[in-house]
Amino acid sequence: MLQSLIFDMDGTLFQTDKILELSLDDAFNHLKSRNLWNGPTPIEKYREIMGVPLPVVWEALLPNHSNEIREQTDAFFLERLIENIRKGKGALYPNVKATFSFLIENNCSIYIASNGLPEYLSSIVKYYNLDRWVTETFSIQQIKSMDKSDLVKAIIQKYNIKNAAVVGDRLSDIKAAKENGLVAIGCKFDFSKDEELAQADIVIDNLIQLQTVLLDIKEPESTVF
């Protein structure tokens, strides 16, 4: 069995869609109140780019706005996300805790590598008590390049990881695994895309399947469950 698993957060462990639209609506209604936005909240456009760092998100959603407005919107959006988490409006995906317990029982260490901001990640970890199992949670903000492959590399170096997999729902997770010589496990969840998952070594549609597939991993090979 693998020594470690490195998990993405949004769309892999945390059902971001449960608070995404609420928080994004809040952010764009705030822009409307300042006469800085007209029309509906661009939720579908956000879903298309889900998984990229937030500065990239605001460049895409607010292409005609200044960096100052983007930064203000980002800060407001983060506040609303955290508040909705604290109110219990979000949720983990099914079997996160059961899977984490299984991994720890089998001497597999757990890390989180996310494009989310540290305060946001911390609020999820704290609300769901994930630090019972997770060794450390890493944010893309800790890496100058803002590249997930570099973030995973930093985790590998810090903890001297030799035999591991990255578990995530988007291409950035799969690339982070491949570029660091790790197994890429794709999650066919809410924000995933089939053309991206096709590049993973293994694809699952429920985290509980990790309990089975991890016992059989020897070297990467395409498998769909």
Q: pLDDT tens across 19-35, in order?
A: 988 999 999 999 999 99
103 plus 135 within the same structural domain: yes
Instruction: Write out pLDDT tens, residues 195-224.
Output: 999 999 999 999 999 999 998 776 444 444
pLDDT over 90 for what percent of the chain? 84
105 plus 176 within the same structural domain: yes
Is 60 exceeded by the pLDDT of residue 16? yes
72 plus 113 within the same structural domain: no
26 plus 101 within the same structural domain: no
Contact assessment for residue 165 and residue 182, using Cβ atoms and an 8 Å cutoff = yes
DSSP collapsed to 3 states, 50-101: CCCCHHHHHHHHCCCCCHHHHHHHHHHHHHHHHHHHHCCCCCECCCHHHHHH
Range of the domain at 97: 4-15+91-224
Q: Which residues contact 49 (CB under 8 A, 6 or more apart)?
A: 56, 57, 60
50 plus 111 within the same structural domain: no
Q: Which amino acid is at 20?
A: L
217 plus 189 within the same structural domain: yes
81 plus 99 within the same structural domain: no
pTM for the full model? 0.88
Structural domain total, the chain: 2
Measured distance CA(210)–CA(4) in Å, rounded: 12
What letter does residue 34 receive in the DSSP assignment?
T
Instruction: Write out pLDDT tens, residues 94-153.
Output: 999 999 999 999 999 999 999 988 999 999 999 999 999 999 999 999 999 999 999 999
**Edge to edge, what strands does the sheet with 4-7 contain?**
134-139, 109-114, 4-7, 164-168, 183-187, 202-204, 223-224
Domain finish residue from 48, 69, 86? 86
67 plus 114 within the same structural domain: no
CATH code where residue 132 lies:
3.40.50.1000
Higher per-residue pLDDT: 47 or 80: 80
Joined tokens for residue 81: 């996300």
Q: Which amino acid is at 216?
A: D
Domain finish residue from 63, 86, 109? 86
10 plus 63 within the same structural domain: no
Task: Look at the alpha carbons of 91, 97, 12, 127 in this order and tell me if their dihedral is positive or negative.
Answer: positive
How large is the average pLDDT for residues 40-51?
A: 86
Domain finish residue from 86, 108, 123? 86
